Amino acid sequence: MTRIGIISFAHMHALGYARSLLELPQAELPGIWDEDAERGQKMAERLSSRFYPSLDDLLATDIQGVIITSPNADHRQHAEAAARAKKHILSEKPIATTLEDAQAMIDAAKAAGVHLGTAFPCRHILSAKRIKELVAGGDLGEILAVRGTNRGTMPGGWFTQREKSGGGAVMDHTVHIADLLRYLLEDEVKTVYAEVDTKFYDMDIDDCGTLILEFNKGTIGSHDPSWSRPNKAYPIWGDVTLKVVGTKGTVEMDALRQRIEVYSNEKVKTVWDTWNESSGLAMIADFVSAIEEDREPAATGFDGLKALEVALAAYKSAETGEPVELPLK
């Protein structure tokens, strides 16, 4: 049985990851730590787990790994603490808010001999895996262009506090698509041009943007990472879509297309009841298996760093008005 602890419930994905652990017959959730003790205690009770008021106390137990779902800027300190305790790590995306912090996390895991993964569930979407097969098999020919969207509702809270999040919508929703495109194309981003702005909300952080990406092999990509979906009216948190155009064919993906639209007076808005396989559950299962098999998770710390680099380049491009070359210096 693989025993996994959770570090912080500050991120909304933490509860879903915890439930995924409980669904897996080979995994356990014996312990939780949270910087908000009241929240941590409530979650421990809700999940039939144990709350540890001290992170060191949680890390001193016999857990084999941790899932870090604290605010983005805190990932480094929590990953380094877990590495010192010889625990394998799955960090919520973005892996950090700076390349320096991301590299420090990678170095700490390597020095401790533990595995570091980044939470990129989009790699586990079944339709994304099918596109991967089509691209790798040459069915689409030479890939000329790609278009991705990860548009969502505005999460509020620390996500809109730059010192905690590292950025707004572009930071929050660029890394998923950046990683998915690297995974599908097996190629690195060469240049990033971006326009970033605040159009939907009255706040001091970006809520929308448009990215144009050029890959080393010549593929051109575009991406919309906006918080453009209305918080009260939209049926779900957002979307993940992709279009891949090749010389032999074109394929499109909508990750949430398998759904029933429910109209309910109780909810006072349309609700999407989806039935597609949970990519989050598949990602957590991969992390557990990686620990059992002593291998790297599907998306590594390096993958997290490269996706973060695209988001940071987008901000730099928006500031200068010019394309930015990667890797960043």
Mean pLDDT, residues 136-155 taken together: 97
Cα separation, 37 vs 173, whole angstroms? 29
So what's the pLDDT on residue 276? 73
Contact criterion met (CB below 8 Å) for 105 and 96: yes
Q: What does the pLDDT average to over 56-63? A: 98
Query: So what's the pLDDT on residue 256?
Result: 87
Report residue 26's pLDDT band, with 50, 70 and 90 as the boundaries: very high
Which pLDDT score is estimated for 263?
87
Please state, for a pLDDT cut of 90, what percent of the chain lies above it.
91
State the burial class of residue 9 (Cβ atoms within 10 Å of its Cβ: 0-12, 13-18, 19+).
buried
Band the pLDDT of 271: cuts 50, 70, 90: confident
Instruction: Find the mean pLDDT for residues 20-48.
Output: 98
As a whole number of angstroms, the distance between CA 255 and CA 277 comes to: 10
Q: How far apart are CA 293 and CA 156, in angstroms?
A: 38
pLDDT of residue 54: 97
Kindly indicate the confidence band of residue 272, based on its pLDDT and cuts at 50, 70 and 90: confident
pLDDT tens readout for residues 63-96 = 999 999 999 999 999 999 999 999 999 999 999 9
Question: Model confidence over 155-212: pLDDT tens digits?
Answer: 999 999 999 999 999 999 999 999 999 999 999 999 999 999 999 999 999 999 999 9
Q: Do the Cβ atoms of 104 and 80 come closer than 8 Å? A: yes
Kindly report, residue by residue over 295-306, the tens digit of the pLDDT: 999 999 999 999
Q: What percent of the chain has pLDDT over 70?
A: 100
Per-residue b or e along 271-299, where b marks 16 or more CB atoms closer than 10 Å to that residue's CB: eeeeeeebbbbbbbbbbbbbbeeeeebbb
Confidence of residue 136 (pLDDT cuts 50, 70, 90): very high
For residue 305, what pLDDT is reported? 98
Q: What is the pLDDT of residue 151?
A: 97
What SS3 class is residue 98? coil
pLDDT at 277 over 80: no
Domains of the chain by range and CATH? 2-121+280-299 (3.40.50.720), 123-277+308-325 (3.30.360.10)
Pairing relationship of beta strands 208-215 and 220-224 according to DSSP bridges: antiparallel
Residue 122 has pLDDT above 80, yes or no: yes
pLDDT mean over 272-284: 87
CB 154 within 8 A of CB 286: no
**Which pLDDT score is estimated for 260?**
87
Question: What stretches of 113-266 show up as alpha helix (H) in DSSP?
Answer: 126-136, 162-165, 169-185
221-267 confidence digits (pLDDT tens): 999 999 999 988 888 889 999 999 999 999 999 998 888 888 888 87
